[in-house]
Structure formats: C-alpha cells, structure tokens
C-alpha cells in the first residue's frame, strides 16, 4: 500500500469514528444528568484518541518516502488505541 492509499484509509477510518461520535453526542444530550457525565467522559477519551490519530495522519502525509514507512507503525498503533477506546465507549453507550 502506498502513502496516498494508506492516508486515504486512515482518513476514512477517522471519518467513520466521527460519525459514530456524533450519534453518541446526540445520545449524551438526551441522557439523564447522571449519565451525561459518563457519556461526556467517554466522548472526551474518544476525542483525545481521535486527535492523536489525526496528528499521525498529518505527520504521515508530510513525511518523506522513507520516513512514512516507519511512521506507519506509529499510525497503526494510534489507530489500534483509538479502536480500543471506541469499542469500550460503544459498549458503555449501548448499555445505556
């Protein structure tokens, strides 16, 4: 996979995460006061991980050909962490 394909894949994943977060934000607004705090905590963790993934994507897009191959490892780790946070948040939101 070349750099442009990899960057497009990461961008699509981030867009998917943003769409899911938008649904959760709507659900959080409708939740009872006690639940809103938990939803907001989960969303904040999601946003932090998403922002880290976006930062990695930007660094990857600006990297030289040799450097981007090394950077994919960091980006893959950021995506994995984000997916884990997303899965945890999804479980919490679906319980409510």
pLDDT 10s digits, 34-84: 677 777 887 888 888 888 888 878 887 787 777 777 777 777 887 888 788
pLDDT, position 96: 58
Q: Is the dihedral of CA 61, 8, 75, 20 positive or negative?
A: positive
Residues in CB range of 74: below 8 A, 6 or more apart: 56, 59
CA distance 39 to 94: 11
Please state whether the predicted TM-score (pTM) of the whole model is above 0.75: no
Does residue 19 surpass a pLDDT of 70? yes
CA distance 92 to 7: 30
Q: Where are the domains of the chain?
A: 3-95
């Amino acid at each position: 996979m070349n750099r442009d394909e990899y960057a497009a894949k990461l961008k699509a994943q981030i867009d998917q995460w943003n769409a899911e977060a938008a649904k959760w934000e709507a659900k959080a607004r409708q939740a009872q006061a006690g639940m809103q705090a938990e939803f907001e905590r989960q969303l904040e963790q999601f946003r932090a991980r998403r922002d880290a993934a976006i930062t990695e994507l930007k660094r990857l897009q600006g990297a030289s050909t040799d450097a981007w191959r090394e950077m994919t490892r960091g980006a893959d780790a950021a995506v994995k962490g984000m997916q884990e946070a997303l899965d945890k948040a999804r479980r919490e939101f679906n319980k409510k």
